[in-house]
Amino acid sequence: MADEVYKALSLLFRIAALGLSVAAIVVMGTASQLVIVDGNPESSSYSVSYSQYNALRYFVAAGAIAAVCSAAALYLLTVSADAAVVSVLLVPFLDAATQGFFFSAAGAAFATRDVVGGTGTAAGSWGSSAGGGGSVCDAAGAFCGRVTVAEAVCAFAAVSAAVAALARDAGDGSSGGRRSHW
């Protein structure tokens, strides 16, 4: 009975991680804004997009890889239950890869937000709110809002993937010695 509960929890959190990762990718992939300087679109304007920042491009790529790993693990646990040998060996690897990509993507995005927002020490060409140059987030608040939402969704996906892996491990450990030892 306990194995079924843990398997259901693992599947629920895997589905949540997959959905959240796709949502984070979509939100970050659509994060862009046209900034008009001095209120006159003809004088000077520029566009701010996630693709201008390497860490945010990494966020999208790592989120996509994590989604693929998460989907593969979900497939192996549900559809391919007959291939238990493959599942036992591959699912823990996919779980670790999924968590690694999610946590590193969220970390990269949080670090970029700190720099772009003007609160970091490496603000560089973006300026700093305290220095009078203004930050990207001062001028492009909607862009920074989307980045923040994508970060939070990715962080929830990472936690969901971790809970799914823990539920899988708890289910394996409670079945009277059926646990896999490599």
Which DSSP category does 83 fall into?
-
| Tokens (6 digits) for 146 | 């989307």
Contacts of 7 (CB under 8 A, 6+ apart): 77, 167, 168, 171
Q: Between residues 182 and 136, which one has the greater pLDDT?
A: 136
pLDDT score recorded for residue 97:
94
CA–CA–CA angle 34, 35, 41 (5° rounding): 95
* pLDDT tens-digit series, residues 45-85: 778 888 888 989 999 999 999 999 999 988 888 876 555 66
Query: Which pLDDT belongs to residue 168?
Result: 80
Residue 180 has pLDDT above 80, yes or no: no
Which amino acid is present at 62? Answer: A
What pLDDT is recorded for position 118? Answer: 56
- Which of residues 163 and 2 earns the better pLDDT score? 163
What average pLDDT does this structure show over 8-36?
Answer: 90
pLDDT value for 170: 79
Q: pLDDT: is 61 or 7 the higher one?
A: 61
**Better-predicted residue by pLDDT, 148 or 39:** 148
pLDDT digits (tens, 9 = 90+) for 81-134: 555 666 677 888 999 999 999 999 998 888 886 666 655 544 444 444 444 455
Kindly report the average pLDDT of the chain as a whole number. 79
Between strands 32-36 and 45-49, the pairing is antiparallel
